[in-house]
Structure 1
């Protein structure tokens, strides 16, 4: 039976590659050793306003409770760097941060919504397995449920947990998405890999807001990705100047990571960057109407934050541009056109930004 399971897993690997996945692995369902760390993280409030993380409690660390009948978790990773990514892309991205009037969207969010891409392909993989072995109980996830994705990925050999808490792979860096299929099918667990961060602190030292409070410990309340995406209310005043020109997400800890020189471009067109989402002036982005926003973010991950939060983020970046002295009349005018915006969240951040004009 063991030999048969291993043979099946080898075939699953082939099917996964055909679907665009970089690697798959198998984790068991006993994550009890991760529960203490999860509880501590929640007790310190590091999850911020992501209340769903606390609401689900320890179900996140108990796959068989989340999906009864689960005996194996098939994990998958998919590279997301755009196909046209050039050599030295990390330096190119760092250089964008030195252009205060340009809006910076995190690399992963410049193309199609990864939730849609991965979920559909994970479902196809599960269907292919069922064709082979008969009906199976399964459920596919990709950043969409109370799942300890990084923990499952690390346990199944997808890489090790970096000091920034992301999963790192020696041949793929960290520029990949993770997904899982919870299965009632027993598969042989994959061997984990050893960590290779050593004494490196690049990710910790580069973080603009010092959100990585200790190795492997992230205070989401200070993280720019959290502030510009997950956080719905006003961005704390003391953190606004540190956000710079980042308007959706932040890649700094990944840009600084030496392992990402090995990051591989995706094989899929889905993650190719849309022209509207990189290299654009902040003033132009501030003038997107709600219809413009919905049209230009259709099918992408940015749409889910809504137009008001988009304008909030761009207003902060424009304020930082003016504060730095790089912003001028175009930036001031873009803000002034929204000074009487109907949304109080937008008005408040615009008013803050105009204080530097």
Structure 2
């Protein structure tokens, strides 16, 4: 048996008629930039996520970058984030001229540790160095929402903005305490001051090309991002430029495709969760494997932890059996060559470095069959029993 790590063609076949109808609708109208398809998609996402504004963009990277720009982050500023994530997170910070201040991840998850954020802020306050710090940028890695209750509490205490990198977590929910006696479920991306999504094809809600989005409840932030994404041009006169911006619009065809997929996202995420639960049930008894938490997770990736001595051997064994795996991410951001000038070294963020040595992602997508799931589980058990 040969299994794909991700099979987008299978997904396409389940919605082929809907997708083709949506694309032909755009072709028949002949409007390929902006228009009603984009506007209605934005409104539907805003409603789905519980946000006042949803602004479509060209990519998740642009969503992060333009969000930071809209918050006024500039050269000389600092933004707290995690070193265990995709490069775009810190890249967006660096492109504003600001410096990423890395904070290690929690021992039992892959997300930034709020306790370590609090310790860093207390240290900066003591040294009278808080002035440069403009934002906290948590990442909901692999589809699991970070501890946003604690992060928002810290941000409020220090009057710092929060930009959520929700690129991998569209549709994920977390229960937050909103008063002394009341809790409320909120969607990833709709918790902080700004939330950022990627619609890269492999994402749970993926386009057939690049795409991204920003969520916010702040009218001024929304207005600024609308300017920034359209060359800084006025809404009423596109040839009157008010600020220096860029070109970051979501194509109309992509919006039409994403509108169709949005109708299925809860079902697809639900299937991912069921597969993850099935994996967990059968892997939790395997000595040497740590399975991921199901809580607040829509499983963009299903990532286990394996001892560093066996991780690559297991990956090689599975590959020979027709089962692809991936390592997200083998090199934490603080050790990336481009950030060498920060002066970080091996050992600075031990939990991120340990995760990089131990993580292994297995195939997970809604169309993965029970037979394929059982085959993957059997081969993993075969490896540990040999």
The TM-score, its normalising length taken from structure 2, stands at: 0.22
Using structure 1 for the length normalisation, give the TM-score. Answer: 0.23
